[in-house]
Amino acid sequence: MATKTYLFPEPNLEFAHGQCLPSPHDGMGLFGPYDLGRPSQPKNIVYGLVGTDTGVAAFRQWGKILSKAQIHPEEASRRLWPPFPGFEAVTGAVWPLEPAWTQSLDAQALADAAVIKDPYQRAAKLVSFYLDPLARARKRDENFGVFICVVPDVVWQNCRPKSVVSEGTGFRLSSKEKKFRKQGMGDLFDEYDVDDYQYSVDFRRQLKAKAMEYDLPIQILRESTLKPDDSHEFGDRGLTPLSDRAWNLTTALYYKSGGKPWRLAAAREGVCYLGIAFRLIEENKSTACCAAQMFLDSGDGIVFLGDYGPWYSEESKQFHLTGEAAQNLLAGILRTYQELEGKPLKEIFLHSRSDISAEEFAGYQKACPPGVSLVGVRIRPETRGFRLFRKGRRPVLRGTFVQDSERSGFLWANGFKLRLMTYDGWEVPVPLRIDLQHGTADIEQVAKDVFSLTKLNYNTCKLGESQPVTVHFSDAVGEILVNNPKTRKPQHSFKYYI
């Protein structure tokens, strides 16, 4: 067939009272969140706060910032950085200036733990400082909606997967010793806890995983994020203006506290989207685990962990499940969906960065309920290859879709945004390659659905992301669940993972 080019309009979002607009800033500012006035809406946010004296004081200052309007000082920049009306004006919920529970941590003790050379002991020690207050707070009468953990920047710098502490305390592990400990082998003198080696060396991932045991969504903030002015917007961290940070933090805190900021206006009832993620096991590169995220027409997300197995092929550089593992994965998440009083489904779309093999799809079909249409779609950024350019200096418009066959095309989810009258990126916009690999569907409708799903990131308040939520957050889910296999109480709600 001949190539066709479309320009999709910016998808609408639904806010309070059925009002629809494409921008979350406009919709929340004018009408309020989708659940405004509904019985499920949180009216008064109950939150806990943990951090050093510096971190606690910084967030207390931010509580005041969230309670009132914030406007970018340069009028010309207000289209890109819209004014923030204040937490209550945006959400219809009260943000108390005083948290229901506060725990101040010893800054020196955190600094000392952040320079332990063994990355597993370093992460475990730092996480324990934040986890202990959560455990105590959970025993109180307050029904916490969210817990805010403010961390010094040294924790963020030293507790990531590739962080190396050259000068510190203790000893750096050899590969042989690390493997020995990860296999659960202790020593005669009990000099270390073998459980520490069953969790990720990444502070954020480990804290998110362990906090699930207490049924508490957490918001992790670096102390430097909480600078209370616009003077550092182009500093070392490249912080955005105060109004933008207030918007992002408000949306995230409201969602994690049980609120629903918006939903897709064009959502089709009975249609769900399933993002499939894979993660390699660090100590065994031939073994991987899969996880799935289901996103419903309502915007709610459900997470499910699949089986471990030899899913990765070094030869093809692809992940593939067996038919049985694929069946178990879909059956498990559909069972969880029904336990949460799910409505009857009409269509299920599988979204994956990897190819979906015929064997995998056959396994998914076995778990698919009778009468429900199942479609397998591969979605991945086209990092090398096809590009579009406009005449002049402006890049391709967001929402451009080039259909090159009845089952494939290229979607630009990033690019020049008409609502902002600018392109908020740095490089030539990269398209998403969309391939309809299994099942029957209209490729134009599939692309429109993918485009709409770029607007379901409640962790930030943006017009749209460069990837759909099914693909964009697959790594986040995989990192937390797969890299922390000893997680005691994995949660199914998506708010625990972002």
* Burial class for 166, CB neighbours closer than 10 Å (0-12, 13-18, 19+): exposed
Question: What's the pLDDT at 234?
Answer: 43
Strand partners, 275: 293, 351
Question: What's the pLDDT at 478?
Answer: 72
Question: What's the pLDDT at 232?
Answer: 47
Question: What's the pLDDT at 233?
Answer: 44
- The string of pLDDT tens digits covering residues 448-472 is 999 999 999 998 999 999 999 998 8
Q: Side chain identity at 22, as an amino acid letter?
A: P
Question: What's the pLDDT at 312?
Answer: 85
Q: Which residues of the chain have pLDDT under 50?
A: 188-189, 232-235
Question: What's the pLDDT at 5?
Answer: 94
**Sequence-distant (≥ 6) Cβ neighbours of residue 296 within 8 angstroms:** 272, 302, 342
Question: What's the pLDDT at 442?
Answer: 96
Question: What's the pLDDT at 191?
Answer: 66
pTM summary value? 0.93
- The string of pLDDT tens digits covering residues 333-387 is 999 888 876 788 999 999 999 899 999 999 999 999 999 999 999 999 998 888 8
Q: What are phi and psi of 276, to 5 degrees?
A: -105, 125
Cα atoms in the 13 Å half-sphere on the side-chain side of 106? 9
Question: What's the pLDDT at 280?
Answer: 79
Distance CA 277, CA 272 (A): 16
CATH 3.40.50.300 fits 42-256, yes or no: no
Question: What's the pLDDT at 342?
Answer: 76
CATH number of 264-496: 3.30.420.10
- The answer to whether the beta carbons of residues 464 and 425 sit under 8 Å apart is no
Domain ranges of the chain: 42-256, 264-496
